Amino acid sequence: MEILQKLFYTDLGNTANNIAILIFRVLFAWELLTVHGLKKIQRGPQAEPEHIPNPLQLPEKLNAAVAQFADTIVPFFIALGLFGRLALLPTIGVTAVGYFVVHRHDSREVRDIPFMYTLCLLLLLLTGPGTYSIDHYIYQLLTK
């Protein structure tokens, strides 16, 4: 039962905090999807998909799949608050690798984007998605 609580239970204390994290989740997920996710999957005669760095030397298809999943599918889980804490892990991995590996020698201005994304994702990991989430309703159903 304790693991269910750690995975699914989130109550940020009051309605205002839970609404604030809901708004934050939805806006963050929208930004992640539209700015980073969609350019990874662009298709068509004029579109060139974004180059996805592979600093860990994973097989190219696996590297691309992880990056695409983290930036195109995970935002829906974030926005809905569905498996919120677990779903964040691949995206935290991608942004942290971007910060600590891909951009480690770049200026602070360049490293700023993966740093800010990683911080936002860590905030969501620590707080959870709040009471206005599917996770909250799953927890209520499982603990009745």
pTM: 0.85
- Give the pLDDT score at 142: 84
Which residues in the chain land under pLDDT 50? Answer: none
Kindly write down the DSSP assignment for every residue of 16-54, as one continuous string.
Answer: HHHHHHHHHHHHHHHHIIIIIIHHHS--SSS--PPP---
C-alpha 65/C-alpha 15 separation (Å) is 37
Q: Which of 40, 34, 14 is CA-nearest to residue 79? A: 34
- Give the pLDDT score at 43: 57
3-class SS of residue 103:
coil
C-alpha 45/C-alpha 78 separation (Å) is 31
